[in-house]
Amino acid sequence: MQAEPKVKYLQLPYQFDELLLGEELDKVLNSGWIPHFNTEGYDGDWQAIPLYAPGGDPNNIYAISIEGQLPEPTPLVKMCPYIQSILQNFKCPLISVRVLRLRPGSYIKPHRDHKLGYEDGCFRIHVPIKTNPQVEFMLGGDLLRMQAGECWYTNVNCVHSVVNKGTTDRVHLVFDGQRNAWSDELFFKLAPEQDFSVPSEPQYDAATIVQIISELEKINSEATRTIIQELQMQLAQLKSQAQ
């Protein structure tokens, strides 16, 4: 079972202009939405627009960069001066930049991202452009209420999910930065440096893992099923080592 980081999220000391963000969404970005590729990970409509991508490809919504190469701006971001000014606040390499839309009634199922926390050398930022009070973003068991124009670090190594129970779209500017001296100065003002160390993995014997799985199966939720899968993998590794 993956250990939980000490710092699950932080509200960063930035407040961006909700009206200017909305204007760029309406004039430039509110078209050309691409369905998210992870179709098994959500119900409803979850869509993306890439603003930085490998080679500046406007159709590549994967938040994965080519090794040794940083993504380049797509034509759309060049038409969004205010979003460009937001990104310029971050004095670090940008690994990916996208706008993500979750339509009313849609649900991103509980999941973890792979090594995408500050302790891994990178960090994910959310800037809500459009939202509503019925959006529920769960991260590591906590409900985050992110308001338009705010700026949040989210450690997506934690189990997280989003549901839009409202009647309007939820649209976020989402980007990943590469940790450097500038970001260290920013983050360590908000939380102790030692809290960003890589958490040690809890060690269980096979009998304990079987017992934990049995208890989690009684809960039968999306989040517990994710944890059960991780425990089953750990159990299989222990059995393999014992052979």
Mean pLDDT rounded to a whole number for the chain: 89
The verdict on residue 3 lying in a domain is: no
Give the pLDDT band of residue 68 (cuts 50, 70, 90). Answer: low
Please indicate, yes or no, whether residues 161 and 55 belong to a single structural domain of this protein: yes
Which residues on adjacent β-strands are paired with residue 47? Answer: 35, 101
Q: Which two tokens stand for residue 187?
A: 């983050």
Question: How long a stretch of residues is the chain?
Answer: 243
SS3 113: coil
Residue 201 inside a domain? The answer is no
- Say what the pLDDT of residue 241 is: 61
Domain containing 13 — which CATH number? 2.60.120.330
Of 126 and 206, the structure prediction assigns the larger pLDDT to 126
Specify whether 185 is located in the same domain as 121: yes
Alpha carbon separation from 151 to 73, 119, 170, 235 (Å, rounded): 21, 19, 15, 39
Q: Based on the domain organization, do 152 and 225 belong to the same domain?
A: no
Average pLDDT over residues 96-114: 94
Residues of the chain with pLDDT > 70, as a percent, come to 90
Structural domain span for residue 145: 9-196
Is residue 38 very low, low, confident or very high in pLDDT (cuts 50, 70, 90)? confident
Can you say whether residue 191 is alpha, beta or left, with left for phi > 0 and alpha for psi between -120 and 50 degrees? beta
Domains in the chain, number: 2
**What pLDDT does 219 receive?**
74
* pTM of the full structure: 0.82
| Sign, CA torsion 132/137/143/149 | negative
Do 90 and 49 share a structural domain? Answer: yes
Together in a domain, 102 and 214: no
The answer to whether residues 157 and 41 belong to one domain is yes
Rounded-to-integer distance, Cα 29 and Cα 103, Å: 15
pLDDT reported for residue 114? 81
